[in-house]
């Protein structure tokens, strides 16, 4: 199945701007007049409101409180999908993260909780690759078509091909890698996509993607693979991706398998009517206002949600 009814999220208490990750994430904004404490309070309120709304819709959300016993602040702890993924074959995969204060987010207690409530066949820990400067940041780096068994990945410093292939082998999935286009950020910095999940989302019956974010020589190959998968392709523009997080969406299931497409209110309001109508053919849209998390964290709704695909314990 492409999506699941059960997810987990991490409740942030020290959320804020991360100067380490800002080195290659141009989606982040440097704080102005707001204090760190004010930003953290607003982010926590946005998180709690999002969890409440998801639960009201019948989505099973497990919330872990932020672990405050770390070597230093973990301002991005609200984005757990980068350090862990779970799979229907019983695999739990732990990932190597590029920036040190994100490496501190990995938690043995979260893995232990998953093992106690689900059938875990194995835990594959790829994090030692950090020592060789090799990184792969979970489902930020990889967009997975579970139905067709394909992993899509935009190669970058945070998403390296050899590790992507290793995960593909582990899951017996085909791997489609490509190079992202460079762009000029709002501050005039030339950059490339830091995570694949800001430019594309795969749901059961549709794909939301910014093909302009793929270099021309790779674009046709990626689009061909997506087309052959039989999914409806919903194109978003470079501006919609860069300014409004329109690529950072996630399908989850409500009661009776009702497919929701989660996104931020920023993304929803940036979609044009034609795009909303295309999505609504297959998914009910559920959007959340998280402007503080988006502005200072440089990530959106998809980054906040870690899916649990593991078979449940009997």
Centre a 10 Å sphere on the Cβ of residue 284 and count the other Cβ atoms it contains: 12
CB 156 within 8 A of CB 140: no
Domain count, the chain: 1
In a domain, 1, yes or no: no
H helices of the chain, in order, are 36-56, 100-103, 108-117, 138-141, 161-171, 216-228, 238-244, 265-270, 273-280, 291-297, 301-304
Residue with tokens 């199945």: 1
**pLDDT tens sequence across 90-105:** 999 999 999 999 999 9
Averaged pLDDT for residues 130-144: 98
Residue labelled with tokens 């046709």: 220
Mean pLDDT of 258-264: 97
Burial label for 215, CB within 10 Å (0-12, 13-18, 19+), is middle
Has residue 314 been placed in a domain?
Answer: no
Return the closest-CA partner of residue 250 out of 290, 215, 183, 198.
198
195-222 pLDDT per residue, tens: 999 999 999 999 999 999 999 999 999 9
pLDDT at res. 304: 98
pLDDT at position 140 over 90: yes
Q: Say if 312 falls within a structural domain.
A: no
Strand segments (E) across 148-212:
150-154, 174-178, 182-184, 190-192, 200-202, 206-209
Percent of the chain with pLDDT over 90: 89
189 or 275: whose pLDDT is higher?
Answer: 275
Residue 259 sits at φ, ψ, to 5 deg, of -85, 120
> What number is the average pLDDT over the span 248-276?
97
Domain assignment present for residue 235? The answer is: yes
Q: Do 161 and 173 meet the contact criterion of CB atoms below 8 Å apart?
A: no
Mean pLDDT of 223-249: 96
Q: State residue 60's pLDDT score.
A: 97
Mean pLDDT, residues 76-81 taken together: 98
161 - beta bridge partners? none
Does residue 313 form part of some domain? no
Least confident of 18-22, 55-59, 170-174: 18-22
Is residue 247, in this structure, part of any structural domain at all? yes
Q: What is the CATH number of the domain that holds 266?
A: 3.75.10.10
Q: What is the pLDDT of residue 22?
A: 84
Report the distance separating Cα 69 and Cα 256, nearest Å.
Answer: 39
Domain holding 229, by residue range, is: 6-307
Grade residue 34 by pLDDT with cuts at 50, 70 and 90: confident
Give the per-residue pLDDT at 184.
Answer: 79
**Both structure tokens of 278:** 């295309």
Q: What's the pLDDT score for residue 168?
A: 98
Model confidence at 313, in pLDDT bands (50, 70, 90)? confident
- Phi then psi for residue 132, to 5 deg, are -100, 10
- 97: in domain: yes
Mean pLDDT, to the nearest integer, of 139-162? Answer: 97
> Does 93 map to a domain?
yes
Instruction: Please tell me the distance from the alpha carbon of residue 71 to that of residue 63, in angstroms, as a whole number.
Output: 22
């Amino acid at each position: 199945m492409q999506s699941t009814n059960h997810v987990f999220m991490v409740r942030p208490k020290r959320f804020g701007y991360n100067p380490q990750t800002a080195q290659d994430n141009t989606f982040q904004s440097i704080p102005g007049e707001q204090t760190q404490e004010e930003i953290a309070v607003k982010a926590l309120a946005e998180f709690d409101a999002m969890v409440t709304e998801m639960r009201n819709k019948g989505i099973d959300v497990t919330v872990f409180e932020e672990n405050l016993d770390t070597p230093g602040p973990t301002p991005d702890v609200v984005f757990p999908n980068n350090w862990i993924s779970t799979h229907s074959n019983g695999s739990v995969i732990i990932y190597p993260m590029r920036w040190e204060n994100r490496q501190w987010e990995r938690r043995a207690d979260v893995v232990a909780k998953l093992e106690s409530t689900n059938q875990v066949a194995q835990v594959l820990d790829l994090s030692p690759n950090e020592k060789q400067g090799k990184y792969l940041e979970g489902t930020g780096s990889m967009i997975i078509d579970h139905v067709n068994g394909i992993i899509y990945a935009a190669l970058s410093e945070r998403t390296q091909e050899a590790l992507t292939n290793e995960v593909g082998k582990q899951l017996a999935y085909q791997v489609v890698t490509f190079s992202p286009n460079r762009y000029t950020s709002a501050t005039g910095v030339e950059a490339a996509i830091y995570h694949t999940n800001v430019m594309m989302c795969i749901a059961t019956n549709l794909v939301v993607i910014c093909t302009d974010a793929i270099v021309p020589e790779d674009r046709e190959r990626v689009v061909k693979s997506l087309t052959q998968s039989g999914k409806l392709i919903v194109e978003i523009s470079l501006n919609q991706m860069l300014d409004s997080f329109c690529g950072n969406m996630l399908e989850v299931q409500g009661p009776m398998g009702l497919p929701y497409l989660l996104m931020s209110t920023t993304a929803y309001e940036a979609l044009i009517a034609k795009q909303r109508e295309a999505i609504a053919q297959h998914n009910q849209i559920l959007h959340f206002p998280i402007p503080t998390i988006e502005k200072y964290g440089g990530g959106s709704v998809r980054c906040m949600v870690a899916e649990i695909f593991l078979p449940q314990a009997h």
